[in-house]
Structure 1
């Protein structure tokens, strides 16, 4: 996955990850660091494989094949919370800013225009489930929720995501 390697080495990508880490230094749970990004990328890919949806995704997203699909899935996971630091500072939605950042970073890793649009849309959609979501956006949303074991977290009573039931016991059964 050479393009994913290029993404991980991109100076702007690394800068955004570092900003997330620095602003969450005192947080005990739910960090938006590289580990979380990799977890979400892997879970997204697993969800697609387990439900035998890889071929469907390739067709639906008009991708060139399995390797391109895997790289697109991983890129979406690795970028989905890239702008979380910006949300902390300005209260702007990190998903919409992250989609903009994806448009800047992904071409440098040789993702084509179609792939960039598929990834950016999924990043933009990953916060809230809706009927009009793209296939990858919905899987990214589920993977992001599955990446956290919130019902075991001692701080769940203070967590808006948990209180809004974006994450719940039912997510473990997915």
Structure 2
């Protein structure tokens, strides 16, 4: 996955990841670091594979093949919280800003305009589930939720998000 390797080494991507890290010194839970982004990318890809939806996604999204689909899924997962620092700093909606940042980064790592649109839509949609969200937006949303095993988190009682999370083992059923 050459384009994903390029994305992970992109200076703009890394600048935003560094800003996330700088502004997440406190609290100690729900970090939006590279581990979280990779977890979301992998879980989203697993969700697609487990439901035998990869060929569907290739056709539905009009992609060139399975490798392109995998890279698109991974790119969306890696970029979904790229602007979380903006939310901390200014109270801005990180998903919308993240989609704009992704639109700047993705052509630099050789995603074509059509793929950029698909990825940016998923980044934009990942925060809130809705009836009319894209296939990839829904998978990224679900993967983001599944990436946090809140029931085992030592900071669970202080977390403002835990009341909105599925925290039982059945959350892993899809």
The answer on whether the counterparts of 1:17 and 1:82 sit within 8 Å (CA) in structure 2 is: yes
Q: 2:26 & 2:15 partners in 1: Cα distance?
A: 19
Q: 1:16 & 1:71 partners in 2: Cα distance?
A: 20
Q: 1:160 & 1:131 partners in 2: Cα distance?
A: 25
Q: 1:167 & 1:105 partners in 2: Cα distance?
A: 32
Q: Secondary structure at the match of 2:161?
A: helix
How do 1:144-155 residues align onto structure 2 when only pairs under 5 Å count?
A: 144-155=144-155
Structure 1: segments with no counterpart, 5+ residues:
none
The root-mean-square deviation of aligned C-alpha atoms, in Å, is 1.1
The answer on whether the counterparts of 1:37 and 1:80 sit within 8 Å (CA) in structure 2 is: yes
Q: CA deviation at 1:42?
A: 0.4
The answer on whether the counterparts of 1:161 and 1:167 sit within 8 Å (CA) in structure 2 is: no
Match of 2:95 in 1: 95
Structure 2: segments with no counterpart, 5+ residues:
none
Q: Secondary structure at the match of 1:62?
A: coil
Q: How many residues align?
A: 173
TM superposition score normalised by structure 1: 0.95
Q: Secondary structure at the match of 1:160?
A: coil
Q: 1:161 & 1:55 partners in 2: Cα distance?
A: 34
Q: CA deviation at 1:82?
A: 0.2
Match of 1:121 in 2: 121
